[in-house]
């Protein structure tokens, strides 16, 4: 009887252990997380460059007088359209006219002195040195006359090409200094519009003239304009340290204006091969660093650290971390840990 009583607790203990094992097995079976696997693809893609800046006219010009003086007449106003060669403004020519007259009289006097010296030299009265000196003085006087005529010519402003007066910076009666802009004008007709923006050196190295761009203006946020890189700076801006890129924009029938703000997505022609995974596979991204879950036996998972090259609408381009990986976990990955057990389910057709 005593032996029976001693065996009963042992039997109960063994039964309890077997029950616990069955419970653990049931829990393990129930805790398997359903996941989907997606193939890691190798694609030939280009890392886009994003930039923003202001639009300006390729033929924009800041017009000024070559000489200083009082502004006598201004013939145009802001917004006026002008033709190539049209007279826009003139200076009071009292001073410059006197300089021209003085230079011409100086030329006449120098010519007379030179001819007199030649005649005296022929009569053996003047020396050869005197003839040479008067000849030099005559040539100098003629050059002074050329300078005066040139300054008189540029004491007026004419339109260098057809366009429109964007801004008038001074008025009649004001004193204009040499080289101080009086008008700001842009070109019309075949003149191109360019988006100028600065990029860092790492992007500058990947950009080449002829690369395509997609441009969006704040004025037309729902419309995409096409563009092409027309110029690439060969030196950095000393103030900002960035390199200026010019993108020639096709206006598509729109009336553009200098100063419009635009954003551009530039697609470099330089292509490369990268590993691509769906964006839903990424976990805990930190800048360019992130990780994904992978499985080798379709039962357990492990974290795989990756380095992101860039992200676009088609894929997440991975530069490091997927060298020997063919599949990554997508659906169900937010619920996983490194000790999770999984159950692979077929990938939905819409996700492929």
Q: How is 131-179 classified by DSSP, letter by letter? A: HHHHHHHHHHHHHHHHHHHHHHHTTEEE-SSSEEEEEE---TTPEEPTT
Tokens of residue 63, six digits: 């017009």
Q: What is the pTM of this model?
A: 0.55
Query: pLDDT tens digits, the chain, 352 residues: what are they?
Result: 444 445 445 544 555 555 555 444 444 445 788 888 888 888 776 678 889 999 988 888 899 998 888 999 999 998 888 998 899 999 998 888 899 999 999 999 999 999 999 999 888 888 989 999 999 999 999 999 999 999 888 889 999 888 889 889 999 999 998 888 999 888 765 568 899 999 988 888 888 888 889 999 998 988 999 999 989 898 988 888 899 999 999 888 888 888 889 999 987 765 567 788 888 888 877 778 888 888 888 888 888 888 887 777 667 888 788 888 888 888 777 778 777 888 888 776 444 4
Q: Which of 233, 229, 244, 258 shows the shortest CA–CA distance to 196?
A: 244
Q: How many CA atoms lie within 13 A of 323 on its CB side?
A: 2
Q: What sign does the CA torsion over 170, 173, 174, 176 have?
A: positive
Sequence-ordered list of residues with C-beta below 8 angstroms from that of 161, at least 6 positions apart, any chain: 59, 61, 84, 187, 191
- Cβ proximity of 293 and 336 under 8 Å: yes
- Cβ proximity of 341 and 28 under 8 Å: yes
66 DSSP 8-state letter: S
How far is Cα 282 from Cα 127, in angstroms, rounded to an integer? Answer: 97
**153-169 tens-digit pLDDT:** 888 999 988 888 988 99
Q: What is the predicted pLDDT for the residue at 29? A: 47
């Amino acid at each position: 009887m005593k032996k029976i009583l001693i065996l009963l607790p042992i039997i109960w203990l063994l039964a309890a252990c077997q029950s616990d094992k069955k419970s653990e097995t049931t829990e393990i079976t129930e805790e398997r997380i359903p996941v989907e696997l997606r193939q890691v693809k190798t694609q030939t893609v280009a890392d886009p460059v994003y930039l923003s800046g202001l639009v300006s006219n390729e033929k924009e010009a800041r017009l000024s007088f070559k000489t200083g003086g009082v502004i006598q007449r201004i013939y145009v106003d802001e917004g006026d359209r002008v033709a190539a060669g049209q007279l826009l403004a003139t200076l009071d020519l009292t001073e410059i006219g006197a300089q021209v007259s003085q230079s011409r009289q100086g030329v006449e006097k120098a010519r007379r002195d030179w001819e007199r010296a030649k005649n005296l030299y022929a009569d053996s009265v003047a020396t050869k040195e005197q003839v040479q000196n008067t000849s030099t003085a005559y040539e100098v006087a003629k050059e002074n006359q050329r300078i005066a005529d040139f300054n008189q010519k540029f004491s007026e402003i004419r339109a260098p090409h057809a366009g429109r007066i964007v801004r008038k910076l001074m008025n009649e009666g004001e004193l204009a200094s040499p080289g101080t802009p009086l008008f700001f004008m842009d070109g019309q007709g075949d003149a191109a519009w360019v988006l100028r923006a600065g990029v860092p050196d790492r992007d500058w190295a990947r950009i080449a003239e002829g690369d395509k761009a997609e441009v969006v203006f704040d004025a037309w946020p729902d419309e995409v304009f096409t563009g092409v890189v027309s110029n690439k700076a060969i030196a950095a801006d000393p103030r900002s340290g960035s390199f200026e890129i010019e993108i020639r924009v096709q206006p598509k029938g729109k009336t553009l204006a200098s100063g419009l703000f635009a954003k551009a997505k530039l697609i470099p022609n330089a292509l490369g091969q990268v590993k691509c995974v769906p964006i839903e596979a990424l976990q805990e991204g930190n800048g360019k660093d992130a990780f994904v879950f992978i499985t080798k036996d379709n039962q357990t998972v492990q974290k795989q650290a990756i380095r992101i090259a860039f992200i676009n609408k088609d894929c997440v381009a991975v530069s490091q971390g997927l060298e020997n990986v063919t599949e990554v976990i997508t659906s169900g990955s937010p619920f996983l840990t490194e000790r999770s057990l999984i159950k692979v389910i077929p990938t939905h057709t819409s996700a492929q």
